[in-house]
C-alpha cells in the first residue's frame, strides 16, 4: 500500500504543477492579448489623427 500512497502524492504534486503552469500560460496569453489591443488602439488613433 505505501506504493499507492506515493503514487497518489506524486499525482497530486503533478496536478499542482500543471495547475500552476496553466495559470502562468493564462497570464502570458492575457499579456499578449493586452499588447495586441494596445497596438490596435495605436493604429486607430493614428488613423483618427490623419483624417
DSSP label at residue 7: H
pLDDT at 2 over 90: no
Per-residue pLDDT at 25: 99
List the grid coordinates of 11. 499525482
What's the rounded Cα separation, in Å, for the pair 38 and 48? 15
pLDDT digit string, tens, across residues 11-43: 999 999 999 999 999 999 999 999 999 999 999
What's the rounded Cα separation, in Å, for the pair 19 and 41? 33
Is the overall model pTM greater than 0.85, yes or no? no
Per-residue pLDDT at 1: 58
Q: Domain boundaries in the chain?
A: 23-51
What's the rounded Cα separation, in Å, for the pair 23 and 3? 30
Per-residue pLDDT at 50: 84
Per-residue pLDDT at 31: 99
Of 17, 9, 39, 32, the C-alpha closest to 1 is 9
Amino acid at each position: 500500500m505505501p506504493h499507492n500512497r506515493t503514487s497518489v502524492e506524486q499525482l497530486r504534486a503533478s496536478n499542482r504543477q500543471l495547475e500552476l503552469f496553466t495559470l502562468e500560460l493564462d497570464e502570458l496569453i492575457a499579456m499578449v492579448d493586452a499588447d495586441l489591443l494596445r497596438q490596435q488602439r495605436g493604429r486607430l488613433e493614428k488613423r483618427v489623427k490623419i483624417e
